[in-house]
Amino acid sequence: MEYRKLGTSDLNLSAITYGAFAIGGSMWGGNEKQDSIDAIHASLDHGVTSIDTAPFYGFGLSEELIGEAIKGRDRSKIQILTKFGLVWDKSNNGKGEHFFDAADDQGNTIPVFKFASKENIIKEIEESLKRLGTDYIDLLQIHWPDATTPISETMEAMELLIQQGKIKAAGVCNYDLSQMQTAAETIKLASNQVSYSMLNRGIENELVPYSIANEISIIAYSPLERGLLTGKYFKDAKLKSDDHRNGYFGQFNPARVEDFLNKIQPIADSKNSTLTQLVLRWTMLQPGITVVLAGSRNAKQAIENAAAIDINLTSEELNFINENLASINHQWV
């Protein structure tokens, strides 16, 4: 595995980091507890030392499973990344910005709010520490920008948590350039976690140059576009009715995506690798990308993801991939 320094912090994360959204079950058609724990164990055993989660993933379930999975392991060798700022219970008394309506396992509608006040952050960190069974978080991140709370207030709260030793570094998720610049007036951020993939490269215009210039790491989520770039959904793979990807995949043109994957498949074959591994390796080789999140719901997938680090891509192969991406001008919809 390759380990990379996160911004100017003291954290070193595995270039492939375990993404724990899917093991929460909600929005992903449910989950199998033991498979999820086995996936985390397999990741750790194959060099993936960093785990990214959030309270919202499974309404706390993802964090609880991680806490159970790492129990008895050397905590100093594991980096836990979690988040705050998505509130789904009634404790915020309607404060914050309504984001969307989710559904629990029983099909009940649950309103979700963006809420990143200082008071809420302090509350959420204690809840996360309890679920994770630890006394500190390596990287704490705001999950989504909250228009109802000044960015300075949110950043000041994270600075306080650093001083208290409850977190080692502060990061953000889904911040645009303007929001990053505002946050920089209060705190030195370690990272910005944003959506980035072969099919979604918008951050290359502003965020990547800014992040490189200011020594801020980019954590790329959805590098596989939630499984679309694995290619298996073009081979009769079926999604459960409550899987959010039924709607998510609709933003892309399936024929163009399949054609592109068919063109790069020979490169994967020549490396004795899968499309999944090839896509992950390409992503982590892009300028400004420090960490790539890869989710897995069982040990086999986790081991496959970790092995992506071993793929060597020549400049000619990278150019071939990039030329095929550029030839269609990213017009996937």
- Which residue numbers are catalytic? 57
For 239, residues 6+ apart whose C-beta sits below 8 A from its C-beta are: 29, 233, 245, 246
CA geometry: angle 49, 279, 323, nearest 5 deg: 145
Q: Give the up-direction half-sphere exposure of residue 173: CA atoms within 13 A in the CB hemisphere.
A: 22
